[in-house]
Amino acid sequence: MKVACVLVTHLPMKAELMRRPDLRDRPVIVTEGPDSKEVVLDSSPEAKGVVPGMPLQEAMSRSKAAVLLRVDASHYESVFTKMIASLCQRSPLVEKGEMGCAYVGLDGLEKMYGGETRLVASVLNAVPHNLNPRVGVAGGKFMAYVAALSGRGGQATRVSEGGTASFLRDLTVDALPMPWEDRARLRRFGIHTIGHLASMELGPIQAQFGPAGRRAWELANGRDLSPLVPHKAIDAVNEYVIFPAPTVTLDALLVATELLLGRAFARPALRSRYVRMATLEAKVMLGAPWIRGVAFRDAVGGKEMATRTLRATLDGTVLPGPLEDLGLTLSGLTGESGIQASLFSDMRRQEQLREMMRQMEVRLRAKPPVFKVKDIEPWSRIPERRQALVQFDP
Amino acid sequence: MVKNPRETPGVGAIRPLNPPVPIVVREDEHHRLETVTLGRNRLRVENTEDQWEIDEEWWRIRPTSRAYYDVLLEDGQTLTIFRDAVSGKWYQQRYE
């Protein structure tokens, strides 16, 4: 089995720089955890002496001028998911590893790409250059990972079948997929390199470290039979909106939810399909993201029904702080083509409105600038906060 | 897999209604309102019929602090204007 490991180190930092180019060449620290126990998730090379897991206070004392960013896990996941989707275009067998790491099955693809070099180049080019990916190619996942880890950004490193032992020999035991405590114990036994571990008898290692020790020993000897577990893309539809100003009211959240549902159900991916799950996710000003998942008891196939259910579910929700944006993911898409509707529904009127909007769109060659007025914060003392114009989506 | 559209956020999908419109207002040395310029017409302020202030959202980096005036202009129309205490600029805005 020939495997390529595509590794993007410091993915959170690179994902932040992709949307904030102004932070390039500046010390930046991405933090995670509750306010009182914030730790470093990632940092830019300019933030000298800062390492992941370090308490924020210590990190700030080492890099005083650093720009602090709160973790935006959904953004990083989105970048990573795009990377996986792009790799899936290159090979039918792609395993999603930990954040920033993916394994690509290369067997049988060489002829299609005109040789291994072109195939590996294609895999490397599947990831945006600003993520600076590294690729390792070997006969197993672990070797491919180690090869990628040892390589340089934008380059591929290949380990031949016979070269495994010599490649691993001088690497430290830190590269092994073992708990930190076990690696520390290996060192206490005087075993610092993978080569040293490989030269030991299996029995004593297994006696001391159990199944994890056996696995580490096998990997150190170049035996890696772990299969590639193909990534199954989740069929989902995403929509996203930014609030004109951070909002703390449920009404604004409901208006935005309705807007997003309208957009989502207008997408071709949901045509004649029903959804079973809706997930709302919002960035909270100076706080952790707010996420709420709603599973529909019966699959819903339209904006109205989904809005009613979400309204009922969100009623009484206390928001953790001012929301800056809102993302909606509809998942659990079913193949259902329809549910018998009531004879007296207003479907005909809705269809006429939809048709009118379609005609306007064709005539204007753009989305018709038709809006409706919605109450956002009708009690607000700031007039422009009371109502908003929301894109009309029948 | 449907692509996540986060990279092209729909900023324009929700628009605030009744946003403040910048306007030129001239005051005298005692901060009494003298004239308001509407389009090309500079109109004299005949009377200030009402006046109130709002101070909101102190928790934001840019809080909202405004002094509103209902002014009667020389052509008979009543206009609601406000002075943004943060920027010092004048705006026209309906206030109901």
**CB spacing of A388 vs B18 below 8 angstroms:** no
Give the length of chain A: 394
Report yes or no: B61 at the A interface, CB cutoff 8 Å.
no
Residue in A with minimal Cα distance to B1 = A235
Residue A376 covered by a domain: yes
What's the ipTM?
0.84
Mean pLDDT by 10 residues, chain B (96 residues): 47 78 91 89 91 86 90 92 92 90
Are A384 and B13 within 8 A, CB to CB? no
pLDDT for res A339: 58
Partners of B67 on chain A (C-beta within 8 Å) are none
Same domain? For A216 and A274 the reply is no
Say whether both A37 and A116 belong to one domain: yes
pTM of the model: 0.57
Same domain, A111 and A184: no
Confidence at residue A101, expressed as pLDDT on a 0 to 100 scale? 92
Within this chain, do residues A253 and A368 fall inside the same structural domain, yes or no?
yes
Q: Do B9 and A81 touch (CB under 8 A)?
A: no
Considering the domain boundaries, does residue A229 fall inside one? no
Q: Are B18 and A371 within 8 A, CB to CB?
A: no
Contacts of A18 in chain B (CB under 8 A): none
Contacts of A386 in chain B (CB under 8 A): 17-18
Domain containing residue A111: CATH number:
3.40.1170.60
Nearest to A241 among B9, B54, B95 (CB): B9
Co-location of A98 and A1 in the same domain: yes
Residue with the two structure tokens 């955890």: A33
- Residue A152 domain flag: no
CATH number of the domain within which A172 lies: 1.10.150.20
Domain membership flag for residue A371: yes
* Residue A123 belongs to domain spanning: 1-139
What residue segments make up the domains of chain B, in order of their start? Answer: 19-92
Give the residue among B87, B94, B83 at the shortest CA–CA distance from B62.
Answer: B87
With beta carbons under 8 A apart, name residues in chain A contacting B57: 382
The residue of chain B with its CA nearest to that of A367 is B13
| Chain B partners within 8 Å of A269 (Cβ) | 2
> Which of B3, B6, B57, B61 has the highest number of chain A CBs within 10 A, making it the mutation to test binding with A?
B6
Cβ-defined contact of B54 to A246 (cutoff 8 Å): no
* Interchain proximity B10–A241, CB inside 8 Å: yes
CATH number at residue A242: 3.30.1490.100
Which residue in B1, B14, B54 is closest to A388 by CB distance?
A: B14
What's the confidence (pLDDT) of residue A298? Answer: 78
pLDDT along chain A (394 residues), means of 10: 91 89 89 81 88 86 88 85 89 89 91 88 89 91 89 87 81 84 88 91 90 90 85 81 87 90 88 86 81 83 88 86 89 68 64 78 78 86 88 75
Residue A241 in contact with partner chain B when CB distance is under 8 A: yes
Position B24 scores a pLDDT of 93
My answer on whether A343 and A271 are in the same domain is yes
| CB contact (8 A) between residue A237 and residue B2 | yes
- Please indicate, yes or no, if residue A227 is contained in any of the structural domains: no
8 Å CB contact of B4 and A263? no
- Three-state secondary structure string covering chain A: CCEEEEECCCHHHHHHHHHCHHHCCCCEEEEECCHHHCEEEEECCCCCCCCCCCEHHHHHHHCCCCEEEECCHHHHHHHHHHHHHHHHCCCCCEEECCCCEEEEECCCCHHHHCCHHHHHHHHHHCCCHHHCCEEEEECCHHHHHHHHHHCCCCCEEECCHHHHHHHHHCCEHHHCCCCHHHHHHHHHCCCCEHHHHHHCCHHHHHHHHHHHHHHHHHHHCCCCCCCCCCCCCCCEEEEEEEEEEEECCHHHHHHHHHHHHHHHHHCHHHCCCEEEEEEEEECECCCCCEEEEEEEEEEECCHHHHHHHHHHHHCCCCCCCCEEEEEEEEECCECCCCCCCCCCCCHHHHHHHHHHHHHHHHHHCCCCCCEEEEECCCCCCCHHHHEEEEECCC
Decide if B2 and A238 are in contact by the 8 Å CB cutoff: yes
The verdict on a CB contact (< 8 Å) between B17 and A373 is yes
Q: Is B52 on the interface with A (CB under 8 A)?
A: no
Domain count, chain A: 3
Q: Is residue A319 part of a domain?
A: yes
